[in-house]
Amino acid sequence: MTVDFVPTGTVDVPDIAYEERIELPATRTGLIVVDMQNDFVKPEGGLSVPAATEVVQNIQRLLAMARLHRVRIIYTQDTQLPDDPEFDIWPKHCVMGTWSWEIIEALSPHPEDLICRKNRYDAFYGSWLNHFLSQVWDIEHLVLVGAVPNICVLHTAASAGLRWYRVVVPADGIAALTTFGQALTLHQVSSLYNGDVVRSVDHLHFEVAG
């Protein structure tokens, strides 16, 4: 067999093991909405992801179901300063205090939700996220939705999985820049990061004890 160390053109998509239905205990589950901010979602945003507008309604449905069952909800908010070194990699984006940095109005957090500001791809890095999940709320399961799957969603999923949270990602709740990025995220979550994937947010169900 010849190994292609430098892939070119198209590549095969590995099989992705989708679950048909996942039931999660409401009191032990957290829903993380990753970086659904104006800069990533709005067409006029500095790093706009065209597919992001397509997942907003799906995330809204999931949020409504989560709130009904009193699931803990966390929003990550990419937060940069004007001279952040990340701008050597990406165009300037999500500068704190600007319109670009704000979470989109259609997914506005409620007062009881946690907003976790982060300045790297991984929401656990240098943040208080793990403290609330493990020490305050005793969370064991995490549902991740948002943008961008193969960057901030994937790095956060990896960090969660390495901390032995069970990670669940619905395919229609994440918005990638490319089909490759979408497939990569779903495959990595389902095969490496203590996780499961489903095709739709509608395949997730929260169970209330008693």
Residue 81 included in any domain: yes
Residue 199 near residue 171, CB atoms below 8 Å? yes
Is residue 26 included in any domain, yes or no?
yes
Query: What's the domain count of the chain?
Result: 1
Domain assignment present for 80: yes
CATH number where 54 lies? 3.40.50.850
Q: How far apart are CA 4 and CA 55, in angstroms?
A: 35
Task: Check residue 4 and give its pLDDT.
Answer: 73
Instruction: Give the residue numbers spanning the domain of 25.
Output: 19-207
8 domain residue, yes or no: no
d(Cα 5, Cα 24) in Å, to the nearest integer? 40
Cα 205 to Cα 76, 82, 160, 167, 194: the distances in Å are 22, 41, 20, 14, 19
For each successive 10 residues of the chain (210 residues), what is the average pLDDT?
A: 76 90 98 98 95 96 98 98 94 96 98 97 97 97 96 97 97 94 95 94 91
In a domain, 4, yes or no: no
| The pLDDT value given to residue 1 | 58
Task: Tell me the two tokens of residue 11.
Answer: 């590549």
pLDDT score at 13: 84
